Amino acid sequence: MSAPGPAHVAIIMDGNGRWAQKRGRPRLYGHHAGARRLREILEACPDLGVKYLTVFAFSTENWKRTQAEVSGLMALFRRYITREAQAMVEAGVRVRFIGDRVRLDAKLVALMDELELMTAHNHLLNLTIALNYGGRDEVARATKRLAREVAAGKIDPEGVDAETLAGFLDTCVLPDPDLVIRTSGEARISNFLLWQAAYSEYEFVDTLWPDFTRAEFQRVVGGYGARDRRFGAVPA
């Protein structure tokens, strides 16, 4: 049976650095272009029936990049939140952040908290930004929280199952993604939503993220409906 359109789309926004280098510009130039592209994709979601959009902004592994690039990205995140906050409120976008905030600087975390609070009552689109996020790290942190509850006698260890652990994930209030898109031609998942995407459909596109237009997004989302999603079952 073919599926309806995806309610939850997750995107690995890859290719900013290569996009900039092809133009003889520094990698941060590409990240700025990628941030502008995100706004266009956000605006397209309601018309396509997408209620949830989750984007991979910075991974737990991205700290391995040069100090200049990491510092530039952190400045970009602060600038993006400050610049886009009021537009998000007016557009009806609810913003959430997932990932470990401990390593992020206090000013950025304060801006993240403020944006989540400002948009808490919006419902047109749910935007989740994965920042200092890694799928394995998320499961490890969730397991640690669950273990504390078990040790405190609040949860019976014999009753722990997949649903129990899912309730401790960063995404516990979100549905699992229906469709995961990765741009730039790379065909790997890079530690993104490992638990949540167990039965997601994947689409790997060659386009670098700053060139990923609304029209291409619409094409990929439209193609989802032709897929046969069986979730391990055998069709009748």
> With a cut of 70, which residues of the chain have pLDDT below it?
1-3, 227-236
pLDDT at residue 1 in the model: 44
pLDDT at residue 53 in the model: 98
pLDDT at residue 225 in the model: 75
Is position 14 annotated as part of the catalytic site? Answer: yes
Residue with tokens 């309601």: 46
pLDDT at residue 233 in the model: 55
Tens digits of per-residue pLDDT, 177-229? 999 999 999 999 999 999 999 999 999 999 999 999 999 999 999 999 776 65
- Rounded to 10 deg, the angle between the 27-44 and 67-91 helix axes is 20
Instruction: Give the C-alpha separation, 3 to 228, whole Å.
Output: 7
Angle among Cα 102, 104, 101 to the nearest 5 degrees reads 40
Domains and CATH numbers, the chain: 8-134+177-224 (3.40.1180.10)
Coil, helix or strand at residue 149: helix
In the DSSP assignment, the letter for residue 176 is: P
Instruction: Give the C-alpha separation, 104 to 178, whole Å.
Output: 29
pLDDT at residue 235 in the model: 60
Strand segments (E) across the chain: 8-12, 52-59, 93-98, 125-133, 179-182, 201-204
Q: Which of 16, 47, 62, 113 is catalytic?
A: 62
Q: In what order do the strands lie in the sheet with 52-59?
A: 93-98, 125-133, 52-59, 8-12, 179-182, 201-204
Q: Which of 14, 137, 170, 178 is catalytic?
A: 14
